[in-house]
Amino acid sequence: MPDALLLILKLFTLSLDIQKIRNDFPILNQQIYNKPLVYFDNGATTQKPQVVIDEEVKIYSKENSNIHRGVHYLSEQLTQRHEDARKVVQKFINAQHDHEVIFTGGTTESINTIAFSFGEKYINEGDEIIISTLEHHANIVPWQMLCERKKAVLKVIPINEKGELLLDEYQKLISAKTKIVAVNQVSNALGTVNDIKKIIDLAHQNKIPVLIDGAQSVQHGEVDVQDLDCDFYVFSGHKVYGPNGIGVLYGKEKWLNEMPPYMTGGEMIKKVTFEKTTFNELPFKFEAGTPNYVSAIALATAINYIQELGLENIAAYEKELLEYGTEKLGSIEGLRIIGTAENKVSVISFNLDNIHHYDAGMVIDKMGIAVRTGHHCAEPLMDSLNVEGTIRASFSFYNTKEEIDKLYEAILTVKQMFS
Ligand code: PMP
């Protein structure tokens, strides 16, 4: 087939019908301050398609029953749906086994679980843990607290002025005392995509396990934990078009089997006597208490939804939005984009000369546009960039170039108001 024809075919298959997609998200179809809502706060949380909302309503209206315990019909049916949801997540990240997928309350809970449980077993006085300057507080504080408990040392990979990790410096930080590396795949504040394959390879050459915080990456492109060979991978349901209060902790079977449980109670036990308790097998050992089965099942619905759109298509379209937005907003005098990595997802963080980000955010809000302002739960990163905070626009596949034009106009208004 001639090259031109192939290209046309590829473009055709890569296209998303954005208007049709927008109709799947009821929240987008409303006015804020009498203006059509422009939702550019997808880094904080994504909106939910009708199928996800319907799934929850259906469970509560027809199927609800506590799972794993009952012998009655509803309980058995919903237990099956819950375990099917685990398989959907397994396929989504290409985990080898479904029992390597633990349902948690979100990324924060997943990281705390690993920091506590891995830390209990493997971290001793003088050991070192490597994180990076780009981390969200959720991937800093649990490690800091572990270091305090065990008298271990936290080491931090520095960044360059574009907001990219300095991998040569990372290599220098690795030592015989390093026990774990924990980094994000994508920075929530800047959108930088880290070369995690290289980070993992370097750690593994030294037999060090790696945790990847995927809170900002699973929604933007395909993830294959076996190909990455990461030891742990975590993400939140609400950032991948699913419900709140559900998240995923993927861990290699070997680690999860060796690590002690984090939370204890019902479901995670095999046998309890007042003298001694034995623990359940994976994944239940890490799922104490009644699971959030409604959200787990609705998360699987959200994953099926984005997989039907195609993560490749999503990535291609969001790249288009990023390029358009970077050029358009970058053309505004006095606007400085913070985070200009070569490899980014659809996030634009910026500041305006002499205008505080909160002031700008409040004016932009009055035009019906939702952006996030502040330190984005990444205070050490803001410090290292010498900024107090930024204005962040994070785009999803349901956003449009016309909406970016509206943000552009809003920023011009902000500038005028404060000049
Ligand atoms: N890590 C990153 C990179 C994030 O962006 C976030 C959420 N902003 C978190 C961790 C924490 O996620 P959650 O609040 O859903 O637990």
What is the pLDDT confidence band of residue 5, given thresholds at 50, 70 and 90?
Answer: low
With a pLDDT cut of 90, the percent of the chain lying above it is 95
**Given the CA of residue 239, which atom of ligand 1 is nearest to it?**
15
**Given the CA of residue 187, which atom of ligand 1 is nearest to it?**
3
Q: What is the pLDDT at residue 7?
A: 55
Kindly report, residue by residue over 402-419, the tens digit of the pLDDT: 999 999 999 999 999 998
Q: What is the pLDDT at residue 89?
A: 98
Q: What is the pLDDT at residue 2?
A: 59
293 Cβ partners below 8 Å, 6+ apart?
59, 67, 78, 81, 82
Q: Among 177, 167, 220, which Cα is nearest to 198's?
A: 167
Query: CA 90 to CA 207: how far, in whole Å?
Result: 25
CA count, 13 A, side-chain hemisphere, 388:
7
Residue type at 284? F
The β-bridge partners of 41 are: 394
Mean of the per-residue pLDDT values for the chain? 96
Kindly report, residue by residue over 192-224, the tens digit of the pLDDT: 999 999 999 999 999 999 999 999 999 999 999
Whether 377 is catalytic: yes
Residue pair 103/155 in contact by the 8 Å Cβ criterion:
no
Which of the listed residues 377, 379, 381, 392 should we mutate to test ligand 1's pocket, taking the one with most ligand atoms within 8 A of CB? 377
Mean pLDDT value across residues 228-246: 98
Alpha helices in 15-140 (DSSP H): 18-23, 50-58, 73-93, 107-122
Angle in degrees, 0-180, between the axes of helices 73-93 and 293-309, rounded to the nearest 10: 40
Residue pair 349/375 in contact by the 8 Å Cβ criterion:
no
Q: Give the CA diameter of the chain.
A: 74
**Given the CA of residue 377, which atom of ligand 1 is nearest to it?**
8
CA count, 13 A, side-chain hemisphere, 356:
5
Question: Residue ranges of the domains in the chain?
Answer: 14-43+310-418, 52-308
pLDDT score of 9 more than 80: no
Q: Which residues are near ligand 1 (CB < 6 Å)?
A: 106-108, 136, 138-139, 184, 188, 213, 215-216, 236, 377
Say which CATH architecture domain 52-308 belongs to.
Answer: 3-Layer(aba) Sandwich (3.40)
Q: Among 51, 29, 49, which Cα is nearest to 39's?
A: 29
Mean pLDDT value across residues 105-125: 98
Note the pTM of the prediction, 2 decimals. 0.96
Residue pair 310/133 in contact by the 8 Å Cβ criterion:
no
Which of the listed residues 45, 46, 103, 108 should we mutate to test ligand 1's pocket, taking the one with most ligand atoms within 8 A of CB? 108
In angstroms, what is the span from residue 215 Cα to ligand 1's centroid? 5
Q: What is the pLDDT at residue 40?
A: 98
Burial class (CB in 10 A: 0-12, 13-18, 19+), 133: buried
pLDDT score of 6 more than 60: no
Torsion of CA 201, 205, 165, 345, to 10 degrees: 10
Residue type at 323? E
Residue type at 295? S
Residue pair 211/110 in contact by the 8 Å Cβ criterion:
no
Please state whether 354 falls in left (phi above 0), alpha (psi between -120 and 50) or beta. left
The β-bridge partners of 335 are: 352
Phi, psi angles (nearest 5°) of residue 219: -85, -10
**3-state class (DSSP) for residue 343:** coil
Q: Among 65-69, 163-167, 196-200, 202-206, name the one with the lowest average pLDDT.
A: 65-69
What is the pLDDT confidence band of residue 39, given thresholds at 50, 70 and 90?
Answer: very high
14-43+310-418 has CATH 3.40.50.300 classification: no
Is the peptide bond prior to 142 cis by the omega test (within 30 degrees of 0)?
no
Kindly report, residue by residue over 259-302, the tens digit of the pLDDT: 999 999 998 999 999 999 999 999 999 999 999 999 999 999 99
- At CA 214, angle to CA 43 and CA 234, rounded to 5? 120
Which residue's C-alpha comes closest to atom 5 of ligand 1? 188
